[in-house]
Amino acid sequence: MMPRRELGLFVAVVFLWGINWPMMKMALAELDFWVFRTYCIAAGFSWFLAYNLATKTSLMIPREYWGRVLVCALCNVAGWNILSAAGLSLLPSGRAGLLAYTMPLWVVLLSRPVLGEPLTMARIAAISLGMLGVAMLLIDEFAALKAAPVGALLMVASGFVWAFGIVLTKRLPKSIPTTTLMIWSFALGGWPILLGAASVSHSAWLPVGGVAV
- Please state whether the predicted TM-score (pTM) of the whole model is above 0.75: yes
pLDDT range class, residue 212, cuts 50, 70, 90? very low
Whole-angstrom Cα distance, residue 213 to residue 194?
A: 21
Given this model, what pLDDT does residue 213 score?
A: 39
pLDDT range class, residue 179, cuts 50, 70, 90? very high
What amino acid occupies position 160?
F
**Residues 43-52: contacts with CB under 8 Å, at least 24 apart:** 44/182, 44/186, 45/183, 45/186, 45/187, 45/190, 48/179, 48/182, 48/183, 48/186, 49/183, 51/179, 52/177, 52/179, 52/180, 52/183
Whole-angstrom Cα distance, residue 196 to residue 213?
A: 22
pLDDT range class, residue 210, cuts 50, 70, 90? low
* 55-69, 145-159, 167-181: least confident range: 145-159
Contact between 122 and 50 (Cβ < 8 Å): no
pLDDT range class, residue 211, cuts 50, 70, 90? very low
Between the ranges 23-27, 38-42, 88-92, 110-114, where is the mean pLDDT highest?
38-42
Q: Cα 207 from chain centroid? A: 23
Whole-angstrom Cα distance, residue 35 to residue 65?
A: 30
Mean pLDDT to the nearest integer, 132-149:
67
Cα Dmax for the chain: 60
Whole-angstrom Cα distance, residue 62 to residue 86?
A: 34
Can you list the positions of beta strands (E) in the chain?
Answer: none
**pLDDT per residue as tens digits for the range 77-107:** 999 888 888 887 777 777 777 777 778 788 8
Closest alpha carbon to 86 in 164, 152, 16: 152
Whole-angstrom Cα distance, residue 41 to residue 27?
A: 15
Please report which helix (H) or strand (E) contains residue 178, including its range. Answer: helix 178-189
Please report which helix (H) or strand (E) contains residue 154, including its range. Answer: helix 149-169
Mean pLDDT to the nearest integer, 124-145:
72
